[in-house]
A and B are shown apart, each in its own frame.
Chain A
Amino acid sequence: MMNYSIALKTLITKEVFRFIRIWPQTLLPPAITTALYFLIFGKLIGDRIGTINGASYMDYIVPGIILMSVISHSYANVVSSFYSTKFQRNIEELLVAPVPNWVILGGYVSGGIIRGLLVGLVVALISLLFADIVVKNVLITLSIVLLTATVFALAGFINAVLAESFDDISIIPNFVLTPLSYLGGVFYSVEMLPGVWQMISKGNPILYMINAFRYGLIGVTDVNIQLAYLITGGFIAVLTLFSLFLLHKGIGIKN
């Protein structure tokens, strides 16, 4: 019987070393960008806005900015790493070896989750320079950030498998992920929107993740927390099954 734990560990280690080796591209930019967000939106503009649902504007935007960073980096890690692996054809190293599909998926997704969480930690530490946040519910905070990173690492994997060019791996992050994140209640409460826009916003899954995370951090939410878990868990299940289906069929990988 093959020992798949060694293959999984090898793949995860390789993925983590990859993004750590290029830390000026992977870990430094979110630190600078989010510091600017906190300074401009939180400090300069936020002081004039006052409070939202009882929280200061700075405290209100911290969870959203942390989770937005987690989302974009867990996605970016997997999509760029797996697509490069395909492009350079070193995916063949894995296909030739007795590595089951779940190990390939688990290895790349774990790499994305770890980078997402590491970036989230960096952003959280920077936020402490601007806000004085005491975590309200550690379990919800940690579970939601982990589940959200998993959702977007899986989504990044599917994007990379289906991509046929480098353009294809930038379309989703630029034209889907970023707008959905900004419109997911990072900077405002969905309750502030007029009726129709509120309805439309509630169709955005990122809204639920950000609000659940905000609830865990500062105890403020626009959505039902159970529903947020259901949506996030549902996405993980569907995306995992779809990823395994793609790997099983060899779509985008094999001839």
Chain B
Amino acid sequence: MNALSIRNLRKTYNNGFEALKGINLNVEEGDFFALLGPNGAGKSTAIGIISSLVNESSGSVSIFGHDLKTDRARAKSCLGLVPQEVNFNQFDTVKSIVINQAGYYGLPRKLALQRTEYCLKQMDLWDKRDTVSRRLSGGMKRRVMIARAMVHAPKLLILDEPTAGVDIEIRRAMWKMMETVNQQGTTIILTTHYLEEAESLCRNIAIIDQGLIVENSDMASLLARLHVDHFVLDLAEPLGQVPVIAGYQIEGVTDKVLNVAVPKEMGLNQLFSQLSALNINVISLKNKSNRLEQLFMDLVESKPTGTE
């Protein structure tokens, strides 16, 4: 079953700006799905329509088979949203923010209390439950929004740039949390500007640009389309000058670190043979984590060709 199904969705704002030009998208149940795109591409509009914050101009959205127009309450019950910006009452306590949201979803008081405790403990916020939310750090505020979105145990969770502006420690903890939530059966749609985040977490991906979906496939096949892999080589000895090897593009990062673009048809063996011949000893090798970034740039810089 599709967790989310979007058909020919269009949105034109009052000022005439056409944010969505008829997109089609399916997200399967249980998926961890990346929705990427540059600023102003239409991601936030699409998420706004899915979560009933923006009125669509035409088209349809259904969540777990429930049409958002004709079966709105059931569709909404399946959805949890973690928005991009903090949008809770900054004068409320952490606990009241989460428990009120449970009430809006119709959870009886006893169950709401249990779910609130569970979600706040999951987010490591239980000891902050009576703190007024404006006194929390940025990372904690984001975790409050995740706890709030999770309190009614949604089947589909949309995370709109959940790790923007948080430090690496919190980001990694949030990645772990998102993976756990997904493993427990919740479908996740993630938007992010950290492409390595999408690459490491998501199984399927759609890229949206100028109101159109310019790519929609699984992550592995998308990355397989890369004709060039980028590697970082750490050298045993400093180099006087960057070596030149036919077929490989080599840049010096420092006198002991090289960036090498390796065409797939040439491979690494030939590169290492040539480096050995030049008496250059490599002590370690790692893949640069910008493979998706490179594809992303290629896709959004080329002209969109379709709507799906």
Interface residues of B in 207-240 (CB under 8 A from A): none
**With A98-B73, A98-B76, A98-B77 as given contacts, are A92 and B83 in contact (CB-CB < 8 Å)?**
yes
Task: Determine whether the beta carbon of B54 is less than 8 Å from that of A255.
Answer: yes
Complex Cα gap A14–B148 (Å): 16
Task: Determine whether the beta carbon of A100 is less than 8 Å from that of B51.
Answer: no
Complex Cα gap A241–B160 (Å): 35
User: For B53, what are the chain A residues with a Cβ–Cβ distance below 8 Å?
Assistant: 92, 95-96, 254-255
Task: Tell whether B107 is near chain A: CB-to-CB under 8 Å.
Answer: yes
Residues of A near any B CB (own CB < 8 A): 2-4, 6-7, 9-11, 14, 84-85, 88-90, 92-100, 250, 254-255
Task: Determine whether the beta carbon of A89 is less than 8 Å from that of B85.
Answer: yes
Report the minimum CB–CB distance from A35 to chain B (whole Å). Answer: 29
* Most B CB within 10 A of own CB, among A85, A89, A98: A98
Q: A7-B105, A84-B89, A96-B76 are in contact. List 12 more A-B contacts (CB 8 A).
A: A2-B73, A2-B77, A2-B106, A9-B103, A85-B89, A90-B89, A92-B83, A93-B87, A98-B106, A254-B55, A255-B48, A255-B53
Count of chain B residues with Cβ under 8 Å from any Cβ of A? 32
**With A7-B103, A93-B100, A94-B104 as given contacts, are A88 and B89 in contact (CB-CB < 8 Å)?**
yes
Contact of B108 among A6, A84, A92, A96 (CB under 8 A): A6
User: For B104, what are the chain A residues with a Cβ–Cβ distance below 8 Å?
Assistant: 7, 10-11, 93-94, 97-99
Interface residues of B in 31-55 (CB under 8 A from A): 45, 48, 51-55
User: For B81, what are the chain A residues with a Cβ–Cβ distance below 8 Å?
Assistant: 92, 96
Residues of B near any A CB (own CB < 8 A): 13, 45, 48, 51-55, 72-74, 76-77, 79, 81, 83, 85, 87-90, 96, 100-101, 103-109, 148
Closest-by-CB residue of B relative to A100 is B73
In the complex, 13 of the A-B residue pairs with CB atoms within 8 angstroms, ordered by the A residue number, are: A4-B106, A6-B109, A88-B89, A89-B87, A90-B89, A92-B51, A92-B87, A95-B52, A95-B53, A96-B51, A98-B77, A98-B106, A250-B55
Complex Cα gap A18–B193 (Å): 37
Complex Cα gap A100–B48 (Å): 18
Task: Determine whether the beta carbon of A10 is less than 8 Å from that of B48.
Answer: no
User: For A7, what are the chain B residues with a Cβ–Cβ distance below 8 Å?
Assistant: 103-106
Report the minimum CB–CB distance from B300 to chain A (whole Å). Answer: 24
Closest-by-CB residue of A relative to B51 is A96
Closest-by-CB residue of B relative to A249 is B55
Task: Determine whether the beta carbon of B87 is less than 8 Å from that of A90.
Answer: yes
User: For A96, what are the chain B residues with a Cβ–Cβ distance below 8 Å?
Assistant: 51-53, 76, 79, 81
